[in-house]
């Protein structure tokens, strides 16, 4: 019971990146289908990445660890700049872009990979944590998208700029602290 509660709080912590990103993406005019695809993709990645971390472990992760934060930072900086400076409507850039959603899902679930490595060292069963991480990240993504949409309703043009700044800050976080 206590272990499940610990996994629950770990899942909440792991879902904070996806909440922040989905909050900024919620300021765009994404269709309900796109929101569902993003949320489901993030949920799936938060299920798969800890499993991969558990299987692959420290043997492969350690040599590549310094570079994953740069990949994440680059992706968030790119999205931020595209959102802020795009001459075309930003909504058009994100609409139907499964590749963008896959990149976002991969990036926000990289910390789940690390948790999978750590849980693998403890020889823990991965089923319960993966289900919790997946479910919580899905819910936090949905909530962030909804909250971003509400921000846009009340603050119109400022909400998209806020979303862009938020993506930039997340990229900076990855660059400086991994």
The pTM (predicted TM-score) of the whole model is 0.74
Contacts for 91 with CB less than 8 Å, ≥ 6 apart: 28, 29, 30
**pLDDT tens digits, one per residue of 121-176:** 666 688 999 999 999 999 999 999 999 888 888 776 666 677 677 778 777 877 78
Here the contacts of 59-64 (C-beta below 8 Å, separation 24 or greater) are 61/113, 61/114, 61/117
Q: Tens of pLDDT along 72-117? A: 677 667 767 766 665 444 444 444 577 888 888 988 888 888 788 7
Sign of the alpha-carbon dihedral angle for 45, 36, 171, 5: negative
Write down all domains in the chain, each with its CATH number in brackets.
Answer: 2-177 (1.20.1250)
Tokens representing 143?
């909530």
Give the Cα separation of 31 and 96 in Å (integer). Answer: 9
């Amino acid at each position: 019971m206590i272990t499940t509660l610990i996994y629950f709080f770990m899942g909440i912590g792991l879902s904070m990146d996806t909440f922040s990103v989905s909050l900024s993406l919620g300021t765009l005019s994404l269709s309900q289908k796109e929101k569902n695809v993003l949320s489901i993709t993030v949920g799936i990645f938060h299920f798969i990445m800890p499993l991969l971390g558990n299987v692959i472990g420290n043997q492969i992760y350690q040599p590549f660890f310094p570079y994953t934060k740069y990949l994440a930072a680059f992706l968030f900086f790119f999205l931020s700049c595209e959102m802020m400076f795009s001459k075309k409507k930003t909504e058009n850039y994100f609409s139907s872009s499964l590749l963008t959603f896959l990149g976002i899902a991969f990036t926000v679930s990289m910390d789940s990979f690390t948790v999978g490595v750590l849980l693998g060292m403890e020889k823990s069963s991965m089923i319960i944590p993966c289900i919790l991480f997946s479910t919580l990240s899905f819910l936090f993504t949905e909530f962030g998208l909804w909250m971003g949409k509400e921000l846009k309703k009340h603050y119109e043009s400022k909400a998209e700029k806020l979303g862009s700044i938020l993506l930039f800050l997340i990229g900076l976080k990855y660059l400086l602290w991994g």
